[in-house]
Amino acid sequence: MTESLKKDSAGDDSRCFDGAQCVALLGLGLMGSALTVPLSRARWQVRAWTRSNRPVEPQRGLVLLADAAEAVAQADFVVAMLADAAAVDDLLFKRGIAEHMRVGTLFIDMGTTGPTAAREHARLLAKRGIDYLDAPVSGGVRGAKAGNLTIFVGGDAAAYERALPLLTSVGRPRRLGALGAGQATKLVNQIIVAVNIAALAEALRLGERQGLTSTDVVEALQGGFADSTVLREHGPHMAQRNYEPGGPCRMHLKDLRLVQELLGGDFPLLAHTFRSLQGFEQLVASGYADADHSAYFELYAALASVPAEHP
């Protein structure tokens, strides 16, 4: 058995103890690492694997393992928080991690991988007697740490009921329908968020061009019809030019490309979304790939230096 990278704060080893709530967590990026906080608070025993060496804050019940196969071998639930569908496919089937899961294990994909991949991964896992839910999330790193994520779930109703104790540990789940429904709903979410981020960035740059302070504008708009989570979360980031990632630009671009794949290249009813996609492509190409998606503000940097025209 592969030696664990780190033992938890209580000194437990990498075994799942009889009667313990045990979950394997695959992926400890920004979101995966944040998930360990509410899982620990809910007293889950978490056997986590990551391909990177990103530092992870120690949590009670958290064991880091160098071998993904060892992480999943004894778990009743396996949660994937990976970058995209290709990463999930590679880990499960090309590296063969699925073969190390027990029959009856429930695999929950909490990343944004798209409805097509969700249905295919579910089909392949079902051949091994493994259940599947697609359960992508919204709420970012802050929501993950607080255990306050919005969770969009697709899959069998019985599997959903079985997963509820785990899902409610990290947020507010809702089953939207059959396999792929959670992923489809997440893409709906990402369209709305992208367009709102673009609108907020353009509006605040317009305000600055007119001599306004973005911090004042954001505060003034709260409570009116322009108020939103995007305004409250990303407005201050834009005003302060603080783009520490909660939702990296490269990830939002990936999600909008999934939308593009589903709808085709014409975007007959989604011109604003297509514009947002192009904006994120420009940001990623300009070195903002790992910056928070509030960095969309930087696309309008030239506007601030252009003198405003007054009647």
User: Could you give the residue numbers annotated as active site?
Assistant: 186
CB atoms under 10 Å from CB of 77, counted, come to: 22
User: 107 forms bridges with which residues in the sheet?
Assistant: 78, 132
Question: Which of 235, 270, 242, 238 is closest to 256 using CA atoms?
Answer: 270
Question: How is residue 237 written in tokens?
Answer: 């980031």
Helix, strand, or coil here: 80?
Answer: strand
Residue 65 and residue 48 in contact, taking contact as beta carbons nearer than 8 Å: yes
- Residue 105 CA to residue 172 CA, distance in Å, equals 22
H or E, element range at 153: strand 149-155
H or E, element range at 77: strand 77-80
Instruction: Give residue for tokens 């949590």.
Output: 59
Widest distance between CA atoms in the chain: 76
Helix, strand, or coil here: 118?
Answer: helix
- Residue 110 CA to residue 151 CA, distance in Å, equals 8
